[in-house]
A = this chain, B = another copy of it.
Amino acid sequence: MRVNQLAKNLNITGDTVRFYTRIGLLSPAKSSVNGYKDYSDKDQSRMQFILSARNLGFSVDEIKVIFSRTDQGESACGLVRQMIQQKLEETEKQFEEMVKLRRKLSNAVEDWSHKPDKAPTGNMICHLIEGTYAESSQLEANREASMTPSLED
């Protein structure tokens, strides 16, 4: 099976398959007749695994680590359980960053609606942006925390 066939089977682009081949996660045989890469069914299920892992937010490097176990017949389950736990924590942090940014932006939109347009001066490029402070107030941070959806039932 050639690159575009595999790609079509999994509904991805040939470039994606080539990428994972280039970095060594897929190792197709080389057709002796035309030099084209020849992907096996195992390559396809490997690619499918990569997609599932990426879907869960695993990085390519993390997937490499997983393969380094499973390619030797060892179970990666323990490792994977540990990895996803850490990933959940990272996601939580990023989530909170997003919440902050979202509030920062909507606050800016609100503030700016009270301000007029201005031409730039020697020490002011755009007063809208320059007048927007980075840190959100503690009060807002608390309010946001109370609005953050939890994972508990």
The verdict on A91 contacting chain B, using a C-beta distance below 8 Å, is yes
Q: Find A98's partner among B41, B87, B94, B108 (CB 8 Å cutoff).
A: B94
The interface residues of chain A, by DSSP majority, are classed as helix
Q: Find A108's partner among B84, B99, B101, B130 (CB 8 Å cutoff).
A: B84
The verdict on A49 contacting chain B, using a C-beta distance below 8 Å, is yes
> Is B126 a contact partner of A70 (Cβ separation < 8 A)?
yes
Within 8 A of B (CB), among A61-114: 66-67, 70, 73-78, 80-81, 84-85, 87-88, 91-92, 94-95, 98-99, 101-106, 108-109, 112
The verdict on A55 contacting chain B, using a C-beta distance below 8 Å, is yes
Count identical subunits in the complex: 2
The verdict on A139 contacting chain B, using a C-beta distance below 8 Å, is no
> Is B57 a contact partner of A120 (Cβ separation < 8 A)?
no
Name the segment of A1-9, A12-20, A26-34, A141-149 touching the other chain.
A141-149
Alpha-carbon separation in the docked complex, A97 to B124 (Å): 36
Residues of B within 8 A of A123 (CB): 41-42, 45
Alpha-carbon separation in the docked complex, A53 to B104 (Å): 12
Residues of B within 8 A of A116 (CB): 77
The verdict on A23 contacting chain B, using a C-beta distance below 8 Å, is no
Alpha-carbon separation in the docked complex, A81 to B113 (Å): 9
